[in-house]
Amino acid sequence: MANDVVGLDVVGLGRGQLSLISQIGESKFSYCLTFEYNGCPFQDIGRFSTALLFGSAAKLNGIGVQSTMVINNTVLPKLNGYYHLSVEGITLGNVSLNIPRGSFDIQANESGGFIIDSGTHYTVLPHAAFTAVVSVLDSVLWLPRANDSKAGLSVCYSSPYYDYIPDVNMTFHMLGADYVVDGEHNFVQYRESGPTKIGYLLCLAMLDMDEASVAGVPTVLGSFQQQDYHILYDNAKQRLSFTPTLCRSLYMSSYPSYLQSKVPVPILGCHILLPLLLLYFVAFSLTV
């Protein structure tokens, strides 16, 4: 049809009356964001689709399921469309970060708080929390700090190795639950640019609220740190549940069994893609 428009849009999954889930009358939904392969120069090739489930199909299976309460913003009720969580602190590796008490609480001046938001790519931390994270990283990583920044990420380290991701977990201590983000979801790797630069940049995949010029907004647990977690929102019970999951497998299993063999599966990132490309170019060069 002439009026058809092809493009991208955002699905509203908030708690407001105009959101999709409110309009279709469902109180539960879940999603599992498939991991965006880290450091792959062919980023768009290595991606998978994501499972989004509603109603009775939205459920968590297996062990390791944790739950926390979604709290109301009593200071500014109009912001209750967001999913506010109670967070008591952050641990990086085995180090409890020195963050001022109440940094993640909703303040009387309508600032602060902590929300989970799939529409924000990288986690946004208040300045005190961000500097505490960087201070610990500087002390535990053997990599030197780089002068360069990349894609808006201000804290980067110079690494001589391709695909090196530090095994440093970050734990958000929520009310009744611990949300653990592994090293692979805390860093993004880029090739250093410039004719005299050899190596890679390893950048912290988080933003300083002050540097991002968004002071006063809530702390945000972004979608990059939600990857490979199956997350269930239950608005009737005001509860958020989650469990670590290989999301590309969940996406495949969401299809009926008779269709699973027909679902196209993209190449699994650079570990498979790069050797195949090298093999192709070697074979091609031998034939010409």
Q: Give domain status of residue 2, yes or no.
A: no
- Looking at residue 8, its pLDDT comes to 41
Q: Give domain status of residue 172, yes or no.
A: yes
- Looking at residue 285, its pLDDT comes to 40
The total of other beta-carbon atoms located within 10 Å of residue 287's CB is 5
- Looking at residue 211, its pLDDT comes to 76
Structure tokens at 153: 């990420």
Strand partners, 116: 83, 221
- Looking at residue 87, its pLDDT comes to 96
- Looking at residue 67, its pLDDT comes to 97
Query: Tell me, what amino acid is at 283?
Result: A
Number of domains in the chain: 1
> What are the pLDDT digits (tens) for 84-129?
999 999 999 999 999 998 889 877 776 778 999 988 899 999 999 9
- Whether 59 and 65 have beta carbons less than 8 Å apart is answered as no
**CA dist., res. 158 & res. 197, Å (int):** 10
Q: Give domain status of residue 127, yes or no.
A: yes
Range of the domain at 60: 20-287
Q: Give domain status of residue 8, yes or no.
A: no
Q: Give domain status of residue 144, yes or no.
A: yes
Indicate the pTM of the whole model: 0.78
CATH number (domain holding residue 191): 2.40.70.10
Q: Give domain status of residue 100, yes or no.
A: yes
CA of 90: how far to CAs of 3, 142, 236, in Å? 50, 22, 28
Query: Max alpha carbon distance in the chain (Å)?
Result: 73
Q: Give domain status of residue 12, yes or no.
A: no
> What are the pLDDT digits (tens) for 32-48?
988 765 444 434 434 55
The 3-state secondary structure of the chain, one letter per residue = CCCCCCCCCCCCCCCCCCCHHHHHCCCEEEEECCCCCCCCCCHHHHCCCCEEEEHHHCCCCCCCCEEEEEECCCCCHHHCCCEEECEEEEEECCEECCCCCCCCCECCCCCECEEECCCCCCEEECHHHHHHHHHHHHHHCCCCECCCCECCECCEEEECCCCCCCCCCEEEEECCEEEEECHHHCEEEEECCCCCCCCEEEEECEEECCCCCCCCCCEEECCHHHCCEEEEEECCCCEEEEEECCHHHHHHHCCCHHHHCCCCCCCCHHHHHHHHHHHHHHHHHHHC
- Name every residue whose Cβ is closer than 8 Å to that of residue 114 and which is 6 or more positions away in sequence: 84, 85, 86, 87, 104, 218, 219, 220, 221
- Over the chain (288 residues), the average pLDDT of each successive run of 10 is 43 61 73 69 49 85 90 68 90 94 81 88 94 95 83 86 86 97 91 66 91 73 94 93 86 50 38 37 40
Q: Give domain status of residue 41, yes or no.
A: yes
